[in-house]
Amino acid sequence: MAPQYIASWAADTEALGYVDTHLTRLIKTLEITPPGGPQDRILEMGAYLQITPALRSKLGYGSVRGCYYGPAGKIDLRRATSSDGETFDCEIDLFNAEKDPFPYPDEHFSTVLCCELIEHLTEDPMHLMSEINRVVKPGGHLVLTTPNIGSLRGIAAILGGYHPGIFTAYIRPHASGEVEARHNREYTPKEIEILLLNSGFTVTLLETGPFRQTPRPEEGWVLNLLERFELPKDLRGDDIYVVGRKTGRVR
């Protein structure tokens, strides 16, 4: 996936800054998402419309839907226009993914993307996972990404006396009173693997990688430490990337 294509959908300076920070992750997410066909439906949870257009134009899905936090039952009609003049229309369903039933029939989607969302939940994630299982057809896929609290960065932070999480700080509300969602619970790759297995998904891919392709030589000592004590060095990237195929019900 060309970085320029993703960046072309950033509507303003703030969106462009977000894309710049998360570009490596966004490209990786599209790379691991199974392609679809004209008959396939895909749902992107927490859709910002930055990679959403590519789900249709690059991955081939015939129907692309988005959802976001908001009052249940409301639907936002969103149109994005790229810097090249390409347009993309998408319906965004609003609801609380922790509590509300998802407004979709059983086995409706071939694929669901749940990217950088689960870490924001304030309660047990099993309502979310149960609803995802319900709306994904048998043999369909869940693509989930989330920060890795067991990363080299996290280990370096906690051994240096800091919190290992990426975004755990309390956030000052905007003038409107709206508060950005902080990270309430970050996970290790093993926890995410167990979560998918208990949610009726067979894990077909489990990797970690960076948010950004920037060198961090200061984390070399963490690798040396892990090697010295014969501890696992794999799955130590900043973000967790997992793909699961629906093979059963929630346990």
What's the pLDDT at 115? 97
What's the pLDDT at 48? 87
Beta bridge partners of 147: 239
Q: How far is CA 31 from the centre of its chain?
A: 13
What's the pLDDT at 1? 66
What's the pLDDT at 19? 87
Instruction: Spell out the domains of the chain, with CATH numbers in brackets.
Output: 3-246 (3.40.50.150)
Q: How far is CA 139 from the centre of its chain?
A: 20
What's the pLDDT at 243? 98
In this predicted model, what pLDDT tens digit does every residue of 108-166 receive, in sequence order? Answer: 999 999 999 999 999 999 999 999 999 999 999 999 999 999 999 999 999 999 999 98
Amino acid at 189: P
Q: Report the SS3 class of residue 193.
A: helix
What's the pLDDT at 42? 98
Q: Which residues of the chain are modeled with pLDDT < 70? A: 1
Q: How far is Cα 11 from Cα 122, in angstroms, rounded to an integer?
A: 30
| CB-CB contact of 150 with 189 (8 Å) | yes
Q: How far is CA 9 from the centre of its chain?
A: 18
| CB-CB contact of 138 with 109 (8 Å) | no
pTM reported for the whole predicted model: 0.94
What's the pLDDT at 13? 86
Tokens encoding 241: 């990337």
